[in-house]
Amino acid sequence: MWADLKAHHSQVKDRRFAEMLDAERAEEFSAEALGMRFDYSKTNIDAEGRKLLFDLLGQTRVAERRDEMFAGARINETEGRAVLHTALRNLDSGMVWVDGHDVMPGVRETLERMERFAEEVRSGAFHGAGGKITDVVNIGIGGSDLGPAMATIALAPYHDGPRCHFVSNVDPADIASVLRECDPKTTLVIVASKTFTTIETMTNARTAKAWMSDEVSDPAAQFAALSSALDKTADFGIDTARVFGFEDWVGGRYSLWGPIGLSLMIAIGPDAFRAFLRGGHEMDRHFHTAAWHENLPALLAITGIWHNQVCGHATRAVLPYDNRLARLPAYLQQLEMESNGKGVSMNGEDLSVPSGPVVWGEPGTNGQHAFYQLIHQGTQVVPCEFLVAARGHEDDLHHQHQLLVANCLAQSEALMKGRTLDEAREKVRDKFEGDELERQAKHRVFPGNRPSVTLAYETLTPEMLGKIVALYEHRVFVEGTVLGINSYDQWGVELGKELATDLQPVVEGKESAEGKDGSTAALVAFLGKYGLT
Ligand code: F6P
């Protein structure tokens, strides 16, 4: 399966793709749909490589698995669960069946309850001890934080509700700096935890409750919960009227579309939240029906597979030239790395190719003045994924937006073209001569032939954000299916959690570090000397 692709790669790897890139290639290796254009022409993928990649999708039954996912089959095989975050944005009248039961009435009912509550908070009908809610604090971590935090920043121009804050880290610095900005009498705390057991979230929730109880007689009345664990939310004292549950077929990192999106809904309002859902649903329909050569998630996935599993590039940079997508790389780190960072296939065999790549990034142009040096001249190749909008929201500053776009396009051009030694010599010929000219010129050479893809779109509206997030979700699905892994479990996060629980009494000084490895014991001793225990 992989052998043909590897053989093809070894034939084409030294070819300079800039030389192939005429207008015809730009069209043939781009696809437009839903107000987006995905351009993968600045890569070394050619018609034969793409055919082999599409063959791979066929051999690994991506289309069949996709249809199974949409139909509610239990494709999360290690946990025996369906994968149906798509149902949360299925605003059609369609039915979605899990075990002979249509889940859509429940989805719609929860969405409507969320909308009623969000409107009550926004209008003041629901209020705190001191009046209308001014601040919402979402306490959650991982998928219960990154999605709503990323989307709330992304959609800042649409905010017309109370201020929203996000607390995730168990580091007290996180919650302390947020609570300092809030008035307990006009703050709503949303505890977002699918399991309602995550230690960071529950610790912060208790801290917030204690903070509120100093000034509010019934703090639990200013708490809401987003969780599947109704018994545990009740134990915490949260009235079921303010508990919004979801089913086990919604994975944490795919949960922004349902109750975990409540803080976003309160910030931007139910109509804009529905537009976000609509965007996600449109991408679902596109993924479900478009042929591979025009299917945006499939195309994004094949470029990922080409660069990572075939070319062997271990990382990929996500570079939004859209400052409000500043948290998108962090969001995608969880989405992609928690989903596809696995070394064992669904049937328990070791993978024969690398698992999903390391995903990282920062918005442009900031990154240009930080790490792009390595991307252009470092010895390792970092495939780049640029995101750029035609328009921002600051119409009066559109000239700045144009400068932003020029930078984005210039970076992908520079990565592709590079600069030869001859060109570098010309740059410095008037300043240096002889050996010094050679030496100075070499430092100014850019190897070029560095791949990038660009996702261009109209503007970052709620609907467009929905399309972008769903696009990446389906890309993860395609890549995971090709690798034959389960993208929907996350056993790799367990061990560290267990060991942290074991270590807690040691760092509190209640138990000795005896039996721990030498390094851990010495670090506990050092930190103890400076006040840890
Ligand atoms: O990090 C593991 C994980 O289970 C993530 O998958 C999840 O998003 C996060 O912890 C938070 O879990 P919960 O919503 O149950 O608190």
CA of 198 to the centre of ligand 1 (A): 7
Ligand 1 pocket residue status of 195, Cβ below 6 Å: yes
Ligand 1 pocket residue status of 144, Cβ below 6 Å: yes
Q: Which atom of ligand 1 is nearest to the CA of 253?
A: 8
Quote the domain boundaries for residue 522. 492-529
Ligand 1 pocket residue status of 227, Cβ below 6 Å: no
| Residues 41, 27 share a domain | yes
Q: Which residues contact 488 (CB under 8 A, 6 or more apart)?
A: 75, 76, 79, 81, 83, 251, 339
Q: Which of 83, 194, 339 to mutate to test the pocket of ligand 1 (most atoms within 8 A of CB)?
A: 194
Q: Which of 79, 83, 138, 141 to mutate to test the pocket of ligand 1 (most atoms within 8 A of CB)?
A: 141
Domain termination site, one of 226, 246, 268: 268
| Residues 281, 262 share a domain | no
Ligand 1 pocket residue status of 303, Cβ below 6 Å: no
Q: How many domains does the chain have?
A: 3
> Does residue 436 lie in a domain region?
no
Ligand 1 pocket residue status of 138, Cβ below 6 Å: no
| Residues 302, 226 share a domain | no
The reported pLDDT for the residue numbered 99 is: 86
Peptide bond into 365 cis (omega under 30): yes
> Does residue 484 lie in a domain region?
yes
- What is the token pair recorded at 478? 């395609």
Residue owning the nearest CA to atom 9 of ligand 1: 142
Q: Which atom of ligand 1 is nearest to the CA of 201?
A: 16
The reported pLDDT for the residue numbered 411 is: 98
- What is the token pair recorded at 15? 């070819």
Domain termination site, one of 213, 243, 268: 268
Domain termination site, one of 268, 302, 317: 268
| Residues 35, 102 share a domain | no
The sign one gets for the Cα dihedral 377, 380, 383, 386 is: negative
The reported pLDDT for the residue numbered 1 is: 83
The sign one gets for the Cα dihedral 418, 423, 427, 432 is: positive
Ligand 1 pocket residue status of 198, Cβ below 6 Å: yes
Q: Which residues are catalytic?
A: 338, 369, 497
The reported pLDDT for the residue numbered 533 is: 87
| Residues 290, 229 share a domain | no
Ligand 1 pocket residue status of 253, Cβ below 6 Å: yes
Nearest-angstrom CA–CA distance, 463 and 277? 7
| Residues 300, 372 share a domain | yes
CA of 234 to the centre of ligand 1 (A): 20
Q: Is 33 helix (H, G, I), strand (E, B) or coil?
A: strand
Ligand 1 pocket residue status of 193, Cβ below 6 Å: yes
CA of 143 to the centre of ligand 1 (A): 6
Q: What ranges in 240-361 are assigned the alpha helix state H?
A: 262-268, 270-289, 296-305, 328-332, 339-340
Output the domain CATH number for residue 473. Answer: 3.40.50.10490
> Does residue 428 lie in a domain region?
no
Residue 489 amino acid letter: D
The reported pLDDT for the residue numbered 407 is: 98
The reported pLDDT for the residue numbered 189 is: 98
As beta bridge partners, residue 315 has: 358
Output the domain CATH number for residue 524. Answer: 1.10.1390.10
Q: Which atom of ligand 1 is nearest to the CA of 192?
A: 14
Q: Which atom of ligand 1 is nearest to the CA of 140?
A: 16
> Does residue 169 lie in a domain region?
yes
pLDDT per residue rounded down to tens, the chain (533 residues)? 899 999 999 999 999 999 999 999 999 999 999 999 999 999 999 999 999 999 999 999 999 999 999 999 999 999 999 999 999 999 877 888 888 899 999 999 999 999 999 999 999 999 999 999 999 999 999 999 999 999 999 999 999 999 999 999 999 999 999 999 999 999 999 999 999 999 999 999 999 999 999 999 999 999 999 998 999 999 999 999 999 999 999 999 999 999 999 999 999 999 999 999 999 999 999 999 999 999 999 999 999 999 999 999 999 999 999 999 999 999 999 999 999 999 999 999 999 999 999 999 999 999 999 999 999 999 999 999 999 999 999 999 999 999 999 999 999 999 999 999 999 999 999 999 999 999 999 999 999 999 999 999 999 999 999 999 999 999 999 999 999 999 999 999 999 989 999 999 999 999 999 999 999 999 999 999 999 98
Ligand 1 pocket residue status of 525, Cβ below 6 Å: no
| Residues 329, 229 share a domain | no
CA of 478 to the centre of ligand 1 (A): 22
Say if residues 147 and 256 touch (Cβ distance below 8 Å). yes
> Does residue 443 lie in a domain region?
no
Ligand 1 pocket residue status of 142, Cβ below 6 Å: yes
| Residues 114, 8 share a domain | no
| Residues 291, 249 share a domain | no
| Residues 260, 152 share a domain | yes
> Does residue 444 lie in a domain region?
no
User: What backbone phi and psi angles, to 5 degrees, belong to 243?
Assistant: -110, 130
> Does residue 514 lie in a domain region?
yes
As beta bridge partners, residue 358 has: 315
CA of 270 to the centre of ligand 1 (A): 25
Closest to 162 measured CA to CA, from 120, 191, 214: 120
| Residues 326, 341 share a domain | yes
CA of 29 to the centre of ligand 1 (A): 37
| Residues 334, 256 share a domain | no
The reported pLDDT for the residue numbered 31 is: 98
Q: Which of 85, 198, 226, 254 to mutate to test the pocket of ligand 1 (most atoms within 8 A of CB)?
A: 198
Which pTM was predicted? Answer: 0.97
Q: Which of 144, 233, 498 to mutate to test the pocket of ligand 1 (most atoms within 8 A of CB)?
A: 144
The sign one gets for the Cα dihedral 8, 11, 14, 18 is: negative
CA of 146 to the centre of ligand 1 (A): 10
The reported pLDDT for the residue numbered 92 is: 79
Ligand 1 pocket residue status of 199, Cβ below 6 Å: no
Q: Are strands 384-389 and 358-360 parallel, antiparallel or unpaired?
A: unpaired
> Does residue 186 lie in a domain region?
yes
